[in-house]
């Protein structure tokens, strides 16, 4: 067994409840803090039971055929995601991918798709972080289908916080592109887009729009955490 695989099987302390021995997040904490939740099938915002699509998505349908989220971006997940994303703790990719795989409909989406595309980082951001967290998740979800060179980030964008949905989408116009020499590969394809956190959805929508224009037949977004509106 490779050394890295052996390390992944070693017990550790749960980062949430400190139970020992455990995985990085124990089953009890996953059940408590990432329970199955009724969410809009297009943007993954919470909806009442029996409702499939939120009002905004009915009025303004996004370019996603489906959107799946493992948990709400609320305690205890932000600390762990920050460590993964900004402090170079790439080891979180494995536990997070396991959490994603246990989310309803994620496994069927991965099985049905032709390619899994991580949301790309601009070159400067990639140099700053040392790795693309979405790529780390994607290659653990489906190593054989992950393609990190097909969808490109062409430029950095100003901060999105405080902007309306329309302004966020305008901010991201032209920020994504398909690798021109491989664009033909997308025609008629079923794709899964992977990201760590979905806030307004503007980045995922902009990327999905580029993929649809290139001929993709079906685009599903799979995200680790969804920022829900305040109650």
User: Within a domain: residue 231?
Assistant: no
Q: What's the pLDDT at 5? A: 42
Phi, psi values for residue 20, rounded to 5°:
-145, 140
CB 196 within 8 A of CB 133: yes
Q: Is the pTM of this model over 0.75?
A: yes
User: Within a domain: residue 181?
Assistant: yes
- CA 76 to chain centroid, in Å, comes to 18
Do 100 and 47 sit in the same domain of this protein? Answer: yes
Q: What is the mean pLDDT of residues 32-47?
A: 95
CATH number of the domain within which 168 lies: 3.40.50
Q: Is 140 helix (H, G, I), strand (E, B) or coil?
A: helix
Do 109 and 20 sit in the same domain of this protein? Answer: no
User: Within a domain: residue 137?
Assistant: yes
The yes-or-no verdict on residue 162 having pLDDT over 60 is no
Do 130 and 99 sit in the same domain of this protein? Answer: yes
Number of H helices, E strands in the chain: 10, 6
Do 2 and 59 sit in the same domain of this protein? Answer: no
Percent with pLDDT over 90 in the chain: 68
Do 27 and 96 sit in the same domain of this protein? Answer: no
Give me the domain span that covers residue 2.
1-33
Q: What is the mean pLDDT of residues 160-167?
A: 57
Residue 108 — pLDDT band, cuts 50, 70, 90?
very high
Q: In total, how many domains does the chain have?
A: 2
Do 68 and 86 sit in the same domain of this protein? Answer: yes
User: Within a domain: residue 67?
Assistant: yes
Q: What is the mean pLDDT of residues 104-110?
A: 97
Cα(83)–Cα(64) distance, rounded to whole angstroms?
29
Do 22 and 69 sit in the same domain of this protein? Answer: no
Question: What token pair was written down for 209?
Answer: 């729009």
Cα(189)–Cα(82) distance, rounded to whole angstroms?
33
Cα distances (Å, whole numbers) of residue 231 to 44, 46, 106, 162, 228 = 16, 11, 27, 18, 9
CB 24 within 8 A of CB 95: yes
Do 61 and 146 sit in the same domain of this protein? Answer: yes
The yes-or-no verdict on residue 171 having pLDDT over 70 is no
Do 161 and 85 sit in the same domain of this protein? Answer: yes
CB 174 within 8 A of CB 207: no
Do 51 and 72 sit in the same domain of this protein? Answer: yes
Do 27 and 59 sit in the same domain of this protein? Answer: no
User: Within a domain: residue 48?
Assistant: yes
Q: What's the pLDDT at 122? A: 85
User: Within a domain: residue 63?
Assistant: yes
Q: What is the mean pLDDT of residues 221-226?
A: 98
User: Within a domain: residue 118?
Assistant: yes
């Amino acid at each position: 067994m490779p050394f890295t695989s052996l390390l992944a099987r070693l017990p550790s302390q749960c980062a949430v409840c400190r139970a020992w021995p455990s995985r990085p997040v124990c089953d009890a904490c996953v059940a408590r803090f990432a329970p199955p939740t009724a969410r809009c099938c297009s943007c993954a915002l919470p909806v009442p039971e029996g409702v499939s699509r939120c009002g905004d998505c009915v009025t303004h349908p996004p370019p996603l055929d489906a959107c799946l989220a493992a948990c709400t971006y609320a305690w205890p997940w932000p600390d762990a995601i920050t460590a993964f994303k900004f402090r170079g703790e790439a080891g979180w990719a494995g536990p997070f991918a396991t959490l994603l795989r246990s989310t309803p409909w994620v496994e069927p989406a991965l099985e049905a798709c032709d390619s899994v595309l991580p949301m790309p980082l601009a070159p400067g951001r990639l140099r700053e972080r040392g790795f693309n967290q979405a790529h780390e998740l994607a290659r653990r979800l489906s190593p054989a289908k992950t393609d990190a060179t097909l969808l490109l980030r062409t430029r950095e964008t100003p901060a999105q916080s405080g902007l309306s949905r329309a302004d966020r989408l305008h901010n991201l116009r032209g920020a994504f592109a398909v690798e021109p020499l491989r664009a033909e590969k997308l025609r008629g394809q079923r794709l899964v887009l992977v990201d760590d956190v979905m806030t307004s959805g503007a980045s995922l929508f902009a990327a999905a729009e580029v993929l649809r224009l290139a001929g993709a037949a079906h685009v599903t977004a799979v995200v680790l955490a969804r920022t829900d509106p305040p109650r």
